[in-house]
Amino acid sequence: MQIQYDKKAIFSPISFEVKNGDRIAIVGKNGIGKSSILKLIIGEEIQYNGELKIANDLKISYVSQSTENLKGNLTNFARDNKIDESIFKAMLSKMGFSKIDFDTDIQNMSEGQKKKVLIAKSITEQANIYIWDEPLNYIDILTRIQIEDVILKYNPTIIFVEHDETFIKKVATKIISLDKET
């Protein structure tokens, strides 16, 4: 499979299969199509050639790079996303949220806090596969370690794009490296 921009493949062909419990890191230079692969998997219209097979009724939990559309309070966010508010807030507590943070409008949170909201939402969701696009952007070292611990403890099936080599080495069971198409 290859992602295409203007009908031209941007990286050398790749092939991979995701099995239950796999933790797959997609790595490569900026702009090579890592995020596009994730978006293709979650169903966005992305030009590609080759074959992509996704199981029917697959429940996917997605963490975007972008936090710009987050707003409102955490209670409404949990309700709107149909996740258990108490589990969601417990996850945020484990990632360092304080009582004051729980009362802050998401729009007024730091980028790191917003990323924690997205990760806590994803972890709270019951999914077959977790797709995370640069989950550690704006995340401090302590939270990174906490996220690593959660992943290693619960062993979710996950495909992620990340630049943090330490995180990749600790959690990935497979690495897919994208190279420029020649």
- pLDDT tens digit sequence for 104-159: 999 999 999 999 999 999 999 999 999 999 999 999 999 999 899 989 988 999 99
Three-state SS string over 71-84 comes to CCCHHHHHHHCCCC
CATH number of this structure's domain 2-69+121-177: 3.40.50.300
Identify the residue whose tokens are 């640069």.
134
Q: What is the pLDDT of residue 60?
A: 96
Query: How far apart (Å, rounded) are the C-alpha atoms in residues 154 and 123?
Result: 10
Distance CA 117, CA 50 (A): 35
Confidence band (pLDDT; 50, 70, 90) for 180? confident
pLDDT on residue 94: 87
**Above pLDDT 90, what percent of the chain?**
81
In 72-171, DSSP assigns E strands to: 129-133, 158-161
**Per-residue pLDDT at 182 exceeds 70:** no
pTM over 0.85: yes
Mean pLDDT of the chain: 93
Strands (DSSP E) along the chain, which ranges?
Answer: 2-5, 8-9, 23-27, 48-49, 60-63, 129-133, 158-161, 174-177
Distance from C-alpha of 81 to C-alpha of 76, rounded to nearest angstrom: 8
Instruction: Retrieve residue 52's tokens.
Output: 């992509």
Do residues 25 and 162 make contact, with C-beta atoms less than 8 angstroms apart? yes
Each residue's pLDDT tens digit, 73-91: 999 999 999 999 999 999 9
Domain boundaries, the chain: 2-69+121-177
* Residue 5's pLDDT band (cuts 50, 70, 90): confident
